[in-house]
Chain A
Amino acid sequence: MRQILPFAVLAAVAVAAFYIFPYNLAFLTRMTIMMIFVLSLDLVQGVAGIATLGQAAMYGTGAYAAGLFAIHVWPDPLAGLAVGAVAGAAIAFVSGLFLMRAHGLTLLMLTIAVAEVLQEVANKFSDITGGTDGLGGIRMARLLGVWKFDFVGQTGYIYAVCVLFVVMVLLKVVIGSPFGLALRGIQDSQARMRAIGTPVTRRLLASYGLGGAVAGVAGALAAQSTQLVSLGVYSFQLSAEAVIMLILGGTGRLWGALIGAAVFMTVHEVAASVDPFNWLFVIGALVLAVVYAVPQGLMGLPAEVKRWIGRLA
């Protein structure tokens, strides 16, 4: 029951949002995609403890792979997602081979470097990727051959929410499995896990690859919903914002990723529409408030509030 309740709440919120904000489905779809992306980061960083500022490498590769696949091979959306997942996992696996040996600042810098190199490669091969102009002309076939992607974005939203659910369930299962427990153990102490015989590097690589697949799915979804892939999919800003959202929500617990993405994007959207010139103040203040008041992220807010009340009493 404790496992199912949050999913029921998520479903209710997703449905409610659909009816309360029928004209903002494009924004809600972007938010859902971002949630999936931050989830991938939560697995890599929150659970396995791999510090990264380059998760966009996998997101971007998934986006380009899905975009190119739709244009040149088959415009089926689900097949595109699968291609995005495979591409994301592949790039994570290849880069992970040398990344998983590094730690701390070195690891952060190497993950940044991978994303930057990929961005420059995409810029160089502009005949294939469209370069700065972006990879346009992506057309989507009907979802499962039935539902057309409509102008208002209803199909796109429902599609993205369904993918979010699948990813969420999948990651819940992974985290609860012996593999997930091993990852948590590695985050606490690599030496201890090595001592009890866990193949640490292999486990880390597997988690990085799985996170890459999920990030690739997020990128593929973005490519399908925007129908265009730009070099921005590899940007440092995207990786950094995902990290901000994750820490904001609370790391390691999956739900934190969703809350962080939702809060960050909503605050950004509202602040930017109220005052386009100065919204960065609001984001900065939000981020600082979380670090100093609830270091565990918004997921830790209830416990923190209890502590404050306890102190007052």
Chain B
Amino acid sequence: MKFNGLMGVALAALLAGVGSGAGADVVKVGVVASFSGPFAMYGKQFKDAIDAYVAEHGTKAGDHEVQFIFKDDGGPNPDQAKALTQELLVKDKVNYLAGYVFTPNALAVAPLIDQAQVPTVIFNAATSIITTKSPYFIRTSFTTPQVAAPLADWAIAQGIKTVVTSVTDYGPGIDAEKGFAKEFEAKGGKVLDAIRMPIQTTDFGPFMQRIKAAAPNALFTFIPAGPPAFAFVKSYADNGMAAAGIKFLGTGDLDDETTLQTLGDAALGIHTSFPYSAAHDSPMNAKFQADLAKVNPGAVANFASVGAYDGTEALYRMIAAGGTDPDKAMKAVLGASWESPRGPITIDPKTRHVTQNMYIRVVERDASGKLINKEIETIPNVPDLGLAK
């Protein structure tokens, strides 16, 4: 990576100059996310969470007035994400960036933010390597290995000795498969079969039959939320897997709170691992959900909203301490710890990724009959495991 350093410095100075020269010290934050298309959920969750944070903490961070500008990238579309980010930087002269749902979108803007020296908070994109691409990236979501490996530990502790992994055949799925299998085998477990399922498939009957034939203690899966996860969970129930003694282990993407209710009874009893459950029992989480309901009645809290909420906290901390000075801002947040709706979190100063608790949850019905992810075990302070050799 070689950039014209002088150009970058000049540009940063220009951006800084505009930021503070505008008189009423306004610090602008550009938020790039999907507000339309099949992934509109993310944009909506981000916006609600930011609104909730602002409603609670006001529009000022320290002495600086904070202003958010939202842009829609429409899905995994790096061309659009990069063009929008460029526009935010040169036209709107934002001092901070945030959002980014998909890995390619985040990777595409890395050269830009590196050159312009703009601190950028990733609210979602979950591939480990992203934060290595620029020292101005921090991330408040999770990485796939961070979620998968603790689940393997827990499975071993439960006496599960054999599994079949069946993941969707694309980047995140393969990350999950490797993350889980490595930990599971290191602890003495055995992976009987590793199935990679085509991304367009929604008929999972054949895979269930194949898993059943292998007769493991459990299956482990990573599958994107929405139609595939829905059909996979249905298929697990319809094929009598639980009765055959095969437990369901998965990452919490597949039963996040925005889709959980649609899964219905088929989801009862499945185990997932994830950093956040809306059913997390803490005053902070209760307050977060109450704030969310105030800005948008009917809003549902999930991993995307809590990623954005903590991301906004990170932004406020950076803005309060650094104003428009990117390096001061970064310094303020690296190593910082605070209580999040998901539990205690720390921004690891080395990886710039969030260190957090992982929770093993089981799907149950609560007193009112709604499905919830009930936390049954906590694995504390898990760092990003994806980059560790």
User: Could you list some 13 contacts between A and B, CB below 8 A?
Assistant: A29-B83, A123-B169, A133-B104, A134-B104, A136-B107, A227-B108, A228-B108, A230-B76, A232-B76, A273-B71, A276-B40, A276-B43, A277-B40
Interface of B is mostly: helix
A-B contact number at CB 8 A: 102
The residue of chain B having its C-beta at the shortest distance from the C-beta of A153 within the complex is B86
Chain B residues within an 8 Å CB radius of A150: 7
Q: Does A222 contact B (CB under 8 A)?
A: yes
Which of A19-27, A176-184, A288-296 is the contact stretch?
Answer: A19-27
CA A163 – CA B108 in complex, angstroms?
23
Q: Does B82 contact A (CB under 8 A)?
A: yes
CA A277 – CA B71 in complex, angstroms?
12
Q: Does A148 contact B (CB under 8 A)?
A: yes
Q: Mark A132-162, 1 if CB is under 8 A from B, else 0.
A: 1110100100000000101111000000000
Known contacts A26-B83, A26-B87: A131-B171 contact under CB 8 Å: yes
Q: Does B59 contact A (CB under 8 A)?
A: no
* B82/A27 in contact, CB under 8 A: no
Known contacts A136-B107, A136-B108, A230-B76: A277-B82 contact under CB 8 Å: no
Which of B21-29, B110-118, B283-291, B369-377 is the contact stretch?
Answer: B110-118
* A226/B82 in contact, CB under 8 A: yes
Interface size on A, residues (CB 8 A): 35
Quick one: which of B90, B133, B169 contacts A23, CB cutoff 8 A? Answer: B90
In B109-129, the 8 Å CB interface with A consists of 110-112, 115-116, 127, 129
CA A152 – CA B85 in complex, angstroms?
11
* A151/B36 in contact, CB under 8 A: no
Q: Does A18 contact B (CB under 8 A)?
A: no
Q: Does B300 contact A (CB under 8 A)?
A: no
Show the binding face of B for A, using Cβ within 8 Å: 2, 4, 7, 11, 35-36, 40, 43, 70-72, 74, 76-80, 82-84, 86-87, 89-91, 103-104, 107-108, 110-112, 115-116, 127, 129, 133, 169-172, 174, 198-199
Interface of A is mostly: helix
- Closest Cβ of chain B to A141, distance in Å, is 11
CA A277 – CA B35 in complex, angstroms?
6
In A66-120, the 8 Å CB interface with B consists of 120
Q: Which of A126, A132, A134, A152 has the most CB of B within 10 A?
A: A132
* B171/A26 in contact, CB under 8 A: no
